[in-house]
Structure 1
């Protein structure tokens, strides 16, 4: 290897010339090793382009297929990202934003994505009833009592006749394992755009290639899904209701249209993450048709029993269930049967059930009320389903969030949820269901003031109503 390359910003021509001097390998493995050495030394940084395959092959005097194989090895290792005609560049492993409180902030946090802790059932009474016979190695992964209850909870919403159940340590754990048992690095995965932060993180860490599918007020779009399938996606992750961040839910019509598109692709793994389940104010409509061969419906309990209750039930086809169970064998990564019994005790308790229903109504009403406050102040807003509001702005969201920080609020700009170039850069995602009325009124007024300070124009109530009637306001 030659001397260190400069670390100043480089244009494509400079990078290509310098790299062909630094890369000296003659085999695919040696070429890949040279590139990795450049990255480890800091001579190549995230986003830097690599030479086109033809240019590299010509400079090294090797067959073009050798250079292709080297780049393929790097892509499969997650070191580089190949974008077809867009070229190959060094992968950026920057951390994905996560849900939860900003613990080091003195600002009032309205970006948490958390449920209301006062509406999470107290497990203390149920805890005493779940202790019993110890569970030993080799026993079933899923507790028999929970399996009977979950069968009723899941099977009625699924078209396929052969449904198998298992449990995982939450929905994110289920999705990660489902993808890992079906895909290899650089496989394409269709994700909603804008997308749940955890799904973005899971796909990036797994080394898969995210393919964005736009979401509108009826959920994942038909044209977007069709385009993703044409790009060869091997799996898709969909939120059938209370989509995070938009709050959109699949309508019966949209779900039927999407099932029609998927009929021609029965072996694409369809993962439905019905995270809001018992709290949802919307009916459940599935993408999974009766003849689809590879599928999974995941429902966690974290939104209504609390994030610390790390348990999700997964219903899937037999082959997918078998592969998932192999990754959850007792003695390795099974889900505690004490936790399973505790969940069963809570979800079958009538008082807890009433509390869950009341919590769902509370979230919907508080979001509706806040959307009405914003609309009255000239920031047209619609409320969907779920814990959050997805608020459209007439100016970039980052400008508004900066203004809100000066007023004591910590809000989340929509671009954290974006996969492709999308209008989410002019969106705020807000978690407001735990605000008292006085605080909600102050936040709404501060958002309107922040929009004005950022150079935006507020809508009058009359103009807002006319725009909604004409379809100009995006829901």
Structure 2
């Protein structure tokens, strides 16, 4: 005697208003609606569009969505349960069977090499150091107090709350002279440079002879030629700024990457150049908050706010994932920059801006920066001590600041050291790629070096990373001496 087909367990009633799980199915095939529904569900499971364990809509909801009878859906579910494609239990509804495996899409081919185990590449804070609990608390407070209009189209100037908080913070911590009306929120230094290049138009920019290749490439992509200005232990030689340049891009707090601060006399020279030539000083406040041997020197912008653009971001202090930066502009540039940015703000979330504003006002940002300052100082001190003990032939240059240090190498050894570092599993960069291709050598400058980022590794792997770096340095330097 053939046993009757088991009746499927009743599916949970649809929530009020017909709400339920959305499911796209194409019933345009030939045959009855029941057969078309069975075929569509089977194909969705077979091809992985419905993963194992996925809950299916209740009978009534799916029937209403597809315009078929409720019994049609119930019969289709029952048949697929019997075939093993679906499971149905009282109280849990109908789901895709766990044993049904989606087809593998096959291996993904890639030419990217696997990452090295020890990451000492500069420019990246330790992701684990992000203050999640404090940020979440600030986000809750910010969302609770946010006006309804904050959930509409963004303001190209940036949220008023954040611009007010930044004006107060930057004045207190960096000595910046500005007002909320002169601050425009952007998504970081790169976004700011693109906007400024568009506003200033054709004409060369002076840049430090050592700097980020990415920034030089960004300016070149905007049609802006760059003219290198020599760098030494006192920063850029601003007395040599070309008179025809439209702007000069400087990192006065901590020259990137060589590590020296801009000498007071050279700060004055830069501003005198700007006044005499009609040019603009673009101050990238790189590492401005992270000085360890003394209090940070104030911003150049404070000396002449009408000839200086001050750039900052939270990429190093909090996380590059936030994509929040700012420009403190001369009054004459605010409207042109906002016009270049566009009427809609597609780059920086208004909710993140509100959270950062609350984080600043509540003191959470100050507390986090102080913690990170202590951590980074300890890591830099450890790097200096370990190298002095184990590899006395090299030296750390520059001031105690920032998230990286330059390790000076004997002339002609940079490539050998980088190759040895890779063999020992250390990801690190040499100094050469940061040198402007048109830069002239400076007597007494650094011909070879490593740019060591000490902020990125988790605490547990920082010691092993330094061990591997020292081993690579010893190996490469001994091989070089033996030749």
Asked if Structure 1 and Structure 2 have the same fold, meaning a TM-score greater than 0.5 normalized by the shorter chain, the answer is yes
**For the residues of structure 2 that align with 1:407 and 1:138, how far apart are their CA atoms?**
48
2:424 to 407, 416, 433: 407
**For the residues of structure 1 that align with 2:256 and 2:246, how far apart are their CA atoms?**
22
1:114 to 124, 133, 137: 124
Asked if 1:308 corresponds to 2:321, the answer is yes
Partner of 1:443 in structure 2? 469
C-alpha spacing 1:343/1:246, structure 2 compared with 1 (3 Å): same
Partner of 2:230 in structure 1? 214
Secondary structure class of the residue paired with 2:386: helix
TM-score by length of 1: 0.67
**For the residues of structure 2 that align with 1:105 and 1:162, how far apart are their CA atoms?**
43
C-alpha spacing 1:205/1:426, structure 2 compared with 1 (3 Å): same
Aligned pairs for 1:349-388 (under 5 A) are 349-376=362-389, 377-378=391-392, 379-384=394-399, 385-388=401-404
Secondary structure class of the residue paired with 1:338: helix
**For the residues of structure 2 that align with 1:138 and 1:403, how far apart are their CA atoms?**
50
**Is residue 291–residue 402 contact of structure 2 (8 Å, CA) maintained in 1?**
yes
**Higher relative contact order structure (alpha carbons within 8 Å, sequence separation ≥ 6):** 2
Secondary structure class of the residue paired with 1:278: coil
Gapped regions of structure 2 (runs ≥ 5): 1-111
**For the residues of structure 1 that align with 2:120 and 2:127, how far apart are their CA atoms?**
14
C-alpha spacing 1:399/1:151, structure 2 compared with 1 (3 Å): same
**For the residues of structure 2 that align with 1:112 and 1:290, how far apart are their CA atoms?**
30
Partner of 2:453 in structure 1? 431
C-alpha spacing 1:144/1:116, structure 2 compared with 1 (3 Å): same
- Structure number with bigger Rg: 2
**For the residues of structure 2 that align with 1:398 and 1:364, how far apart are their CA atoms?**
28
**Shift of residue 336 of structure 1?**
2.7
C-alpha spacing 1:260/1:250, structure 2 compared with 1 (3 Å): same
**Is residue 170–residue 311 contact of structure 1 (8 Å, CA) maintained in 2?**
yes
Gapped regions of structure 1 (runs ≥ 5): 1-101, 458-475
TM-score by length of 2: 0.65
Secondary structure class of the residue paired with 1:428: strand
**Shift of residue 368 of structure 1?**
2.6
Runs ≥4 residues deviating over 4 A: 137-140, 159-163, 288-293
**Is residue 164–residue 318 contact of structure 1 (8 Å, CA) maintained in 2?**
yes
What value does the CA root-mean-square deviation take over the aligned residues? 2.8
Aligned pairs for 1:246-265 (under 5 A) are 246-265=258-277
**Is residue 167–residue 311 contact of structure 1 (8 Å, CA) maintained in 2?**
yes
Partner of 2:30 in structure 1? none
1:164 to 179, 182, 186: 182
Partner of 1:190 in structure 2? 206
Secondary structure class of the residue paired with 2:260: coil
Secondary structure class of the residue paired with 1:371: helix
Secondary structure class of the residue paired with 2:317: helix
